[in-house]
Amino acid sequence: MTSYFPQHGDRRYGVAHYDLTLRYRVPANRLDGVARLTVSSAGPLTTLDLDFGQLRVSSVTVDGATARYSHSQGKLRVTVPRLLPVGSRAAVEVRYSGSPVPVRSFWGGLGWEELSDGALVASQPIGAPSWFPCNDRPDDKASYRISVSTASPYQVIANGELVARRRAAGTTTWIYDQAEPMASYLASVQIGRYQLSDVAGTRLAHPPRLATRARHDFGRQGEMMALFTDLFGPYPFTGYTVVVTDDDLDIPVEAQGMSIFGRNHVDGIRGSERLVAHELAHQWFGNSLTVACWRDIWLQEGFATYAEWLWSESSGGPPAGTHARRWHQRLAGLPQDFVLADPGAAMLFDDRVYKRGALTLHALRRALGDLVFFPLLRAWTARHRHGNVTTQEFAWHVQRHAPSPVGPLLSAWLHDKPLPPCP
């Protein structure tokens, strides 16, 4: 099966842990980094190919020994000083510096981006190499320790639990531990002059001038968390942080244990609440259960979109069936040239992935009934917690729980181009 991004990722090894030590100067957009990777070989290795963008590498070591390397076209190829046998582990350290440049893609620049006064990371699907060397494939999940030093007026938010904060000579160092396995594209650092608030059990970082609007617009997240926990199973991480930047963003940004919104998503009247629900749902579908390959992205975006409809149904808005009919009518008017379970790299974020994915789940719910459908979802998130998933595994899972065959229904929605009838 061909990868959508064959230039990214190396299946000859996996990474168990990333330890990133970063120093960032906001005005200069200058990043100095030391990345320490604990790698495990899947076969005898004499070289390691790391995905890494345009930052300048100054040295590489493997198990403390200086290693030869070449760096071009987004690949850092490291010659291992000694052969790594199958199953062996090695510590790879890369020192680097420069001004981060987003990775080019179908959807514009991805990865580390400058804000008007700070920085954000928006890496899905291939932007992680813009700021650290990695094995950039969604099925190679690892634990992380991320240390970021920057000027003290700025707040730093990264994945996981804040375990230390040290201030010295006008600089503050923030250290986060992400214990649960995480895909490289979900690793994130957010830097800005943020005020921190606790809203409905969620940490909220926002520009001080947007405090009232942000607290209102995210005020129902506690109710969302309760609903999704009931429908999807226990929340999969130790905490959840929402960041509101002081810049406009085209769309919110997904990260593990974190979501990032632009100031344009905060209007004081909850005008973007469906997106609030969507991003929270990604903590189950996308962050805990991560696709093994990008062709299966509907397992993330379709599920998060259906979560929007479920929140609407629960919170006094239109029921899921109303959303389903409306979107089915819209999709019926589009070209019928699209396969949900294999949309193609350029179509990963096409609206049909989101809406046809949600319609697939609604069709399944209608066919099975709520007393089967929702326990099936909870079993799905429990079985694959902090792991990787595929469409085929989901189909097998559904059939194990369904009282009657659902193969033809799923096949029509997932693998046929014509849009099936509205459920």
**pLDDT, average across residues 230-242:** 97
ω before 125 within 30° of 0 (cis)?
yes
Task: Give the type of residue at 363.
Answer: A
pLDDT of 14-45, one tens digit each?
Answer: 999 999 999 999 999 999 999 999 999 998 99
Q: What are the E-state strand segments in 169-317?
A: 171-182, 189-192, 195-199, 202-206, 241-244, 253-255, 258-261, 290-291
What's the alpha-carbon Rg for the chain, to the nearest Å?
Answer: 22
329: its two tokens = 């009518």
What's the pLDDT band for 284 if we cut at 50, 70, 90? very high
Mean pLDDT of the chain: 96
Backbone φ and ψ of 54, nearest 5° = -105, 5
DSSP state for residue 284 in the 8-state scheme: T
pLDDT of 108-128, one tens digit each?
Answer: 999 999 999 999 999 999 999
Is the per-residue pLDDT at 201 higher than 90? Answer: no
**pLDDT, average across residues 320-332:** 98
What pLDDT shows up at residue 92?
Answer: 98
Instruction: Single out the residue of 120, 114, 115, 391 nearest to residue 255, CA to CA.
Output: 120
Is the per-residue pLDDT at 395 higher than 70? Answer: yes
Contact 82, 76 (CB under 8 A): no
Instruction: Single out the residue of 284, 415, 278, 280 nearest to residue 360, CA to CA.
Output: 415
Question: At a CB cut-off of 8 Å and minimum separation 6, what does 304 contact?
Answer: 278, 279, 281, 282, 285, 286, 354
pLDDT of 2-11, one tens digit each?
Answer: 789 999 999 9
What percent of the chain has a predicted confidence (pLDDT) above 70? 100
What pLDDT shows up at residue 296?
Answer: 98
Lowest mean pLDDT among 128-132, 307-311, 335-339: 335-339
What's the pLDDT band for 358 if we cut at 50, 70, 90? very high
C-alpha–C-alpha distance, residues 72 and 93, integer Å: 18
Instruction: Single out the residue of 143, 184, 181, 187 nearest to residue 8, CA to CA.
Output: 184
What's the pLDDT band for 371 if we cut at 50, 70, 90? very high
Domains of the chain by range and CATH? 1-105+125-182 (2.60.40.1730), 194-283 (3.30.2010.30), 291-414 (1.10.390.10)
The residue written with tokens 């929007």 in the block is 308
How open is the CA angle 355-359-361, to the nearest 5 degrees? 120
Task: Give the type of residue at 29.
Answer: N
What pLDDT shows up at residue 1?
Answer: 56
Is the per-residue pLDDT at 82 higher than 70? Answer: yes
C-alpha–C-alpha distance, residues 139 and 14, integer Å: 9
Half-sphere exposure in the Cβ direction for 65 (13 Å, CA):
10
What's the pLDDT band for 205 if we cut at 50, 70, 90? very high
